Chain A
Amino acid sequence: METTTAAHGTGYRLRKALRLALDYLLMIAFAFFFLFPLVFMLVSSIKNSETQVTSDVSTIYAFVPRGDLGFQNYFDVFSQLNFGRLMFNSIFIVTTMVALGLAVNSLIAYALARLNFRGRGAILSVIVALIIVPFQAVAVPLLLMVNNLPWFDGSTTWLDTYHVQIIPFIADAFSIFLFYQFFLGFPRELEEAALVDGASLLRIFWSIVLPLSRPVFATVAILQFLTHWGDFLWPLMVTRGEEVRPLTIGMQAFFGQDPRLWGDLMAFASMITVPVLIVFLMFQKWFVQSVATSGIKGGA
């Protein structure tokens, strides 16, 4: 590289510097494009005066924290609805769904990848076929079904409950497929050594396979979290009250109120967005790796 630079002289170096500047200029321009709505949201949320929020939005001041700053909009949100409850609902629904999903989907994937039994091939091809069935195509018949489904507490419908938002999404064909691919590439020797020792299959899975499979568990957990944290269609159909509904539906209901107070809305939006952004920044490498995996495996 050094010799080329010397050979081409200053002209080459100038061109290279120019290209570098152009690269950064482009990347900064794109950074503005991807950040401006988020900055705008955060800045608007801390402007106490609604008049200022709406008049600043047509100027560059939309991005400038100025005037009467504070957390009035946030207090307004808390005084109008039970934000804590909505946040709890969202977190509870997603974590339960993801945790149970990790168990259920990894177990079947392990059986498919490692154990010999009749029907294995058939099950595998059905699961691969199920990957393409979109939830939207079954949502309405599923609504009809859960509307008249009994539950252990004696109720005759699943509507307006937590379990109606969790149970249908625990098993996931694509998650099974990701686990299956991972277990196929897992070294067999470790398990065989344990089998000779007479360990039970469940113990082998728990104490040998699980500890060595953290990457695939993290990948599936993150992908499922990204998919279901923003779930909207299903909770819209199956929840009516504030009791069990997630943040997304609470936010939409708040948005539908008259008059529309943009300062309050931006505060609400910020409170949903900032925690997830922080989690993302903390586990960034994992997020990026998971999405990349979904592309590589999904394309295979």
Chain B
Amino acid sequence: MSENQSAKSGLSQRKRTEALMAWLFSAPALVLLTAFLAVPFLMAVGLSFTDQRLIPNPNLPTQFVGLRNYLRLLEDEAFLRGLLNNFYFAAVVVPLQTGLALFLAILVNQKLKGMNVFRTIYFSPVVTTMVVVAIVWTFLYNPDGLINSVVQAISFGNLGPYRWLQNTSLVFPAIMVLSIWQGAGFQMVIFLAGLQDIPEYLYEAAEVDGANIIQQFLHVTLPQLRNTTIFVVVSTTILAFKLFTQVEVMTQGGPQNASMTTVVHLVHQGWQNLRVGYASTISIVFFLIVLGISILQRHLLPEERR
């Protein structure tokens, strides 16, 4: 009887120790995530309804302003241009970069000599810091730089020279090109992993059925890569909305907001102009867009992979 009881209490003792240890193991991460992610996020929600400044003026206390910041967004040309540019960027870069990455992955997935060398070369821009990429490409885009020479050479002198980063219609496409250059290798590797997961017998069966290379690509490769493709498309779209570093280094959103983006505007408002309240409003809108894209991804993925 007493033995049984002590065994029981020993068991519940062990359970209690386990729970205690679990909380000890979890505590550091939970504290940090709460303090530096959850709290600032809730602050953003609250601050978006105020006129909070980074360094408050003691004579003008921070006030609750209701929906004023949100209404102001609708008339803020830089914000609207930035948002539109993010959609423009996503519409061009997502299909181009995804397509390029898939094409590269298929190329280097062949069992040929030297594939590893090519994979390494295509991936090397990924390990190049974006600030460096932006500065090197600024040099390439110089009015008397390499890119103008190439454009003039292939058009037999009919096109250019352009002032790429000073021209309102060229500046954003110019930034898109270097973004694709830097990012394609990352997605190529993800596609490569997806390709290597496709069982060989599917191709053998297709070949027996007389499918040519294009048919094999359309009816075996693409369907098998469905989840990988959704992931790549969604993560590239989210990256398009986070666009900041290359723009800030190269143009700060100019000329005339032609290369403005949501995050560039958010940082300029909150950090340069010290308008924390208004910047928080932009943050919330930005977050809702990213959230929307993520929810879309969950709906696109089949049930068992969610």
**Chain A positions near chain B (C-beta within 8 angstroms):** 20, 23-24, 26-27, 30-31, 33-35, 37-38, 40-41, 44, 54, 57-59, 62, 103-105, 107-108, 110-112, 115-118, 120, 123, 127, 130, 132-134, 136-145, 147, 167-171, 173, 176, 201-202, 205, 226, 229-230, 232-233, 236-237, 247-248, 251-252, 255, 262, 265-266, 269, 272-273, 276-277, 280-281, 284, 287-288, 291-296, 298-300
B122: which A residues are within 8 A, CB to CB? 30-31, 34
* A292 near B190: Cβ-Cβ < 8 Å: yes
Q: Is the interface of A mostly helix, strand, loop or mixed?
A: helix
* B26 near A111: Cβ-Cβ < 8 Å: yes
Contact residues, B239-270 vs A (CB, 8 A): 242, 244-245, 248-249, 263, 266-267, 269-270
Known contacts A58-B144, A142-B40, A273 near B132 by CB under 8 Å: yes
Q: Which of B66-74, B75-83, B89-97, B287-295 faces chain A? A: B287-295
A58: which B residues are within 8 A, CB to CB? 144-146, 148-149
* Contact-size category for B: 35 or more
Q: Which of A108, A247, A292 contacts B192 (CB 8 A)?
A: A292
Q: Which of B28, B52, B181 contacts A104 (CB 8 A)?
A: B28
Q: Which of A40, A117, A130, A251 contacts B132 (CB 8 A)?
A: A251
Known contacts A104-B32, A116-B18, A117-B23, A37 near B40 by CB under 8 Å: no
Identify the closest chain B residue to A299 (Cβ): B231
Most buried by A among B29, B38, B280: B29
Q: Is the interface of B mostly helix, strand, loop or mixed?
A: helix
**How far is the CB of A27 from the nearest CB of chain B, in Å?**
5
Q: Which of A40, A233, A292, A294 contacts B245 (CB 8 A)?
A: A233
B176: which A residues are within 8 A, CB to CB? none
Provide the bound-state CA to CA distance between A138 and B38, in Å. Answer: 9
A248: which B residues are within 8 A, CB to CB? 129, 131
Identify the closest chain A residue to B188 (Cβ): A291
Most buried by A among B184, B245, B269: B245
Known contacts A58-B149, A145-B40, A37 near B283 by CB under 8 Å: no
Q: Which of A34, A112, A134, A281 contacts B287 (CB 8 A)?
A: A134
Known contacts A140-B266, A141-B40, A144-B276, A107 near B26 by CB under 8 Å: yes
Known contacts A35-B121, A110-B25, A298-B235, A137 near B284 by CB under 8 Å: yes
**Chain B positions near chain A (C-beta within 8 angstroms):** 15, 17-19, 21-23, 25-26, 28-30, 32-33, 36-41, 43-44, 47, 52, 54, 104, 107-108, 110, 112, 118-133, 135-140, 142, 144-146, 148-149, 181, 184-186, 189-190, 192-194, 227-228, 230-232, 235, 238, 242, 244-245, 248-249, 263, 266-267, 269-271, 276, 279-280, 283-284, 286-287, 290-291, 294, 301, 305
Identify the closest chain B residue to A281 (Cβ): B120
* B123 near A288: Cβ-Cβ < 8 Å: yes
